[in-house]
Amino acid sequence: MVEQGELSASHARTIAVADDPEKLAQEIIAGGLSVADTEKKVKRAPRAARARAYADKSMNESEINDMTKRIGHALMSRVKITERRGGAGQIVISFTTRTHLAEIVDKITGKK
């Protein structure tokens, strides 16, 4: 549908996580939905088993602080956790020397 110009690439990316993206694509085309409307529709629609679950609410600050402290203590390093919209995020682990980095890697991988 994208190749035929019936559906934009932005619409296609948005519906890729849906359980039935082809059905949604047909609804988008028939209804002339905007990408923003499509995003709302996808959030309400069943998600494909292979897709990450959509997290509507972010973790609260105390949860993030607790996880940050636990990871930092376990790795003996400074840690920063950030969460993005949708529940994804990143963990940044700081190290002071290459030896410290090697120790962190060993702890994470369980190897020495």
Helix axes 61-75, 98-109, angle to 10 degrees: 110
* Ranges under pLDDT 70 in the chain: 46-58, 85-86
pTM for the model stands at 0.49
Confidence at residue 39, expressed as pLDDT on a 0 to 100 scale:
86
Tens of pLDDT, residues 43-67: 877 666 555 555 555 678 888 999 9
Question: Does residue 34 contact residue 68 with C-beta atoms inside 8 Å?
Answer: no
Vertex 57: Cα angle to 75 and 71 (nearest 5): 5
DSSP 8-state code for residue 18: B
